Amino acid sequence: PVRVIYEDDDLLAVDKPCGMSFHSDDLEGVEEGTNEKPAPGLLAVIRAAQENGSLVGSDYVGPLHSVHRLDKVTSGITLFAKTRVAAAHLSEQFRLRRVHKYYVALSAKRPKKKMGTVSGEMTRARRGAWRLVKRPSKDERNEARNDKEGDDSTRVTRNGSPQVATTKFSSRGLVKPKSAE
């Protein structure tokens, strides 16, 4: 179940769980001749919850306009505008990079240093996976921090994307990234 964590006259902020696509999954991977159906995406889940009155944290039943998306493997806050004017404004803020996004990754491995900065430029490898090269890029700087002794290591990244964060953390041996989709 998804839940609304913030609402005002112009927008809904929804907590998207990991493993849920934004749009409904396609039929790829669904075995023919079975009753198996593609998994509904975030948008379909929200609209169904609006229709049956089970949207946690909101009783809003009007139209929703998506202004950005998160990958299937990424959990986090997804914004929906309630009006076209709000959608245009929020979309423009994302386009102009005025929205500050933070990605957090957890690793069971402990980093060698408690804090640090991972710098480098992201490029695509031959088979589509991301890789880190040693040319620092102002827009792709990430900070790393170990918040608690003996606990999972928390990595906080500024700018970029989840793929950028995962690749940079794997360069430190903290995660094993899957190839980019």
DSSP conformation class of 81: E
Catalytic positions, written as ranges: 71
One-letter amino acid for residue 104 of the chain:
V
- Cα-to-chain-centroid distance, residue 99: 14
Report d(CA 132, CA 168) in Å as an integer.
6
Per the CB < 8 A criterion, the answer to whether 18 and 30 are in contact is no
Q: Which residues contact 54 (CB under 8 A, 6 or more apart)?
A: 1
- CA distance readout (Å), 56 to 45, 53, 61, 70: 11, 9, 12, 20
CB-neighbour burial class of residue 31 (10 A; exposed 0-12, middle 13-18, buried 19+): exposed
How many angstroms from the chain centroid is the CA of residue 96? 18
